[in-house]
Amino acid sequence: MSTLTHYKIIRPLGSGSFAKVVLAEHNITKQKVAIKIIKRNKVQDENSLRKIEREIKILQGFHHPHIIRLYEFIETEREILLVMEYVPGGELYSLIERNGRIPEKQAREYFQQVISALSYCHERKVVHRDIKPENILIDEQSFLKLGDFGLSNFIRDGIFLKTSCGSPNYAAPEIISGEQYCGPQVDVWSVGVLLYTLLAAYLPFDENNIPALFAKIKAGRFNVPHYFSVGARDLIRRMLNTDPVSRITIKQIMEHPWYKANIPLHLKYTEAIVDHDRIVDCLGALQANRSRKEIFEEIFNKCLEFPEFQGLQKEQLKQQVLAKKQDSFTVTYHILLDSTLKVKRKLLNQSEINVEPIFQKKVGIFMIPDDETIVSSDCTSSTESEKSNHPMPHNWVFGFRCAISAIRLVIHLFESLKSLNMEWKFLSEFEIRVRSVGFEEQKVGEDLPKYVGKGVKFDIKIYKFNESFILDIKKVDGMEMVYLDTCASLYKKLNGSVPIVRKRSIDIY
Ligand code: ADP
């Protein structure tokens, strides 16, 4: 286990109930970190110690763009030190206090980030139980980071929690009534209060004395300001439903139109892409919503370049990282990984996209009807010249070229396939087999094909060509016309989701 010799303390950042937080620099990467210093003599009661241990246990395994990262904890005779990600922008609470009402667009962005963080916690059977703007920090990119898991607890199936916790203004009615509660729904209530507070700059439930406050919360009585949009109003009403059973769930919130509007790419696709490990490999920016089983070679190799680690056994270091050890190499790897992912996330959300179709050498027999489709001579000539020097796959059926980043291409491809009710599996790193949901294969000896009218099965291969990517689509099974129709829909979907910079045409043969 490393000691504080790996960090240079810069200045104090603040102090909490039983801890002091300081800004420090990690000597190897020169990245800033925040170190929470807990004096053992200040946490003599068992309960507080348990809270700290619980926070460490929870944060240790977490890796999410909107949850404060814990890189390592160091125990000495007198102190417990938590080395965490440094979040420089202060508390969300101070922002509201300073600026008053947050514009709805910004409030939604914050809300989406908190919901995404909570969804991550709940999936891992952790309920936060103390969501409030004081426990949320803002980073330099205006990203929120949920912290303070001191009150959080593990949910065990079928076991209700009883501890009354959190701040009274944010507490759900079932908590203040002392009823048993199941966990996730109390976080939903608190985020409902948070969203209201972001939009109004005051609390939905507020009274000078606790009994009056509790009465208001239990009755679920609150006024909705006239300037709340219809969508926000509807969502808040559903979240501040006093009945935890019929209260909207995190999953339903994520389906709500108000939540879904303008969702940033790094949140929109993380979960969808989580299932596709290989693609995740090329999509570093999107990985951070899960604990990885693989290593980012790029980051790993950068770490090896530091003088501190030269001459060390590469394989052993890899094993240390995979085992999530707390040695100085693993900590360095994670600090560097996070700073790299931060940059990638930013680029991902800013990147421009355009799609350009590819022209086929063979004679087209089918022209996809598309209002905007115009075969343009300049388009044809430029692609003709490219074709001649590129080893295109000779068995193409349908294809087009996308001058976008690999991340955006795959994201849009998956999104389009999903909306066409398709499912897929990986055949190789750059090839997927796609089929209509419910597609049934024809068995040997069967007269009538089962797939009649039931969709298709095809392969999509992705090729890199100069600075762009080419999608090669080849039918595997199903009716020709259904296949062509699906290709046309896919093309339209992909085109619809990205701005087109050139006139285009598609030939299918
Ligand atoms: P509390 O016990 O009141 O919840 P903490 O002990 O978690 O507070 O933190 C005290 C103060 O230190 C916070 O208000 C915040 O200003 C600062 N702080 C805590 N963690 C970080 C961090 N990771 N990055 C930057 N500042 C932090």
CA-based torsion, 407, 412, 413, 418: positive or negative: positive
- Rounded Cα distance between 476 and 152, Å, is 50
Three-class DSSP category at 462? strand
CA-based torsion, 452, 453, 455, 456: positive or negative: positive
Ligand 1 centre from 133 Cα, in Å?
Answer: 12
Q: Which residues are annotated as a binding site?
A: 36
CATH tag, 354-495 = 3.30.310.80
Confidence of residue 31 (pLDDT cuts 50, 70, 90): very high
CA-based torsion, 316, 320, 321, 323: positive or negative: positive
CB-CB contact of 473 with 493 (8 Å):
no
Confidence of residue 502 (pLDDT cuts 50, 70, 90): very low
Residue 271: what pLDDT?
40
* Given 130, 338, 477, 507, the catalytic residue: 130
Residue 347: what pLDDT?
67
Q: Please give the share of the chain, as a percent, with pLDDT higher than 90.
A: 31
The verdict on whether 130 is a catalytic residue reads yes
Residue 63: what pLDDT?
83
Ligand 1 centre from 331 Cα, in Å?
Answer: 21
CA-based torsion, 62, 66, 72, 73: positive or negative: negative
- Give how far Cα 223 sits from Cα of 142, 188, 217, 247, Å: 29, 19, 12, 18
- Map out the domains of the chain as residue ranges: 4-85, 92-263, 268-349, 354-495
Structure tokens at 122: 């709940």
Q: Which residues are annotated as a binding site for ATP?
A: 36
Paired residues of 181 in beta bridges: 161
Q: Whose CA is nearest to atom 25 of ligand 1?
A: 87
Q: What is the mean pLDDT of residues 471-492?
A: 81
Nearest to 234 by CA among 183, 192, 202: 192
Q: Which amino acid is at 62?
A: F
Phi, psi of 462 (to 5 degrees): -110, 125
HSE (CB half, 13 Å, CA atoms) of 293? 5
Strand order in the sheet with 431-436: 355-357, 398-402, 468-478, 456-465, 431-436, 422-428
CB-CB contact of 331 with 6 (8 Å):
yes
CB-CB contact of 145 with 89 (8 Å):
no
Confidence of residue 481 (pLDDT cuts 50, 70, 90): confident
Rg (CA), the chain: 27
User: Within 10 Å of residue 327's Cβ, how many Cβ atoms?
Assistant: 15
Query: Under 8 Å CB-to-CB from 211, ≥6 apart: which residues?
Result: none
Question: Which secondary structure element, helix H or strand E, spans residue 481, and what is its range?
Answer: helix 480-497
Which of 18, 20, 21 to mutate to test ligand 1, by most ligand atoms within 8 A of the CB atom?
Answer: 21
The ligand 1 atom nearest the CA atom of 18: 2
Per residue in 350-367, pLDDT tens? 654 333 333 332 222 222
Q: Whose CA is nearest to atom 23 of ligand 1?
A: 86
Q: Which of 302-306, 336-340, 500-504 has the lowest mean pLDDT?
A: 500-504
Q: Which amino acid is at 16?
A: G
Q: Which amino acid is at 278?
A: R
The ligand 1 atom nearest the CA atom of 21: 12
The ligand 1 atom nearest the CA atom of 85: 23
Ligand 1 centre from 86 Cα, in Å?
Answer: 10
- Give how far Cα 57 sits from Cα of 39, 115, 169, 244, 479, Å: 19, 21, 27, 28, 54
Which residue ranges have their beta carbon within 6 Å of ligand 1? 13-17, 19, 21, 34, 36, 68, 84-87, 91, 137, 147-148
Virtual torsion, Cα 353, 463, 340, 114, nearest 10 deg? 60
Find the DSSP H helices in 240-373.
Answer: 250-255, 257-260, 265-268, 270-274, 277-282, 297-304, 314-322, 328-350
User: Within 10 Å of residue 252's Cβ, how many Cβ atoms?
Assistant: 14
Nearest to 193 by CA among 109, 114, 97: 114
CATH tag, 4-85 = 3.30.200.20
Per residue in 32-74, pLDDT tens? 999 999 888 877 777 778 778 888 888 888 888 899 999 999 8
Token match 């919130």: residue? 253
What is 376-433 written as a DSSP string?
Answer: -HHHHHHHHHHHHTS---TT-SEEEEE-S-HHHHHHHHHHHHHHTTEEEEEEETTEEE
Residue 217: what pLDDT?
93
Instruction: Identify which has the larger pLDDT, 372 or 143.
Output: 143
Q: What is the mean pLDDT of residues 313-321?
A: 86
CB-CB contact of 340 with 281 (8 Å):
no
Residue 367: what pLDDT?
27
Q: Please give the share of the chain, as a percent, with pLDDT higher than 70.
A: 70
CB-CB contact of 449 with 442 (8 Å):
yes
Q: What is the mean pLDDT of residues 311-328?
A: 84
Ligand 1 centre from 333 Cα, in Å?
Answer: 24
Ligand 1 centre from 145 Cα, in Å?
Answer: 11
Structure tokens at 249: 């769930």
The mean predicted confidence, pLDDT, of the chain is 75
Considering the four listed CATH numbers 3.40.50.300, 1.10.10.10, 1.10.510.10, 3.40.50.150, the one that applies to the domain covering 92-263 is: 1.10.510.10
The ligand 1 atom nearest the CA atom of 19: 6
> What does pTM read for this prediction?
0.69
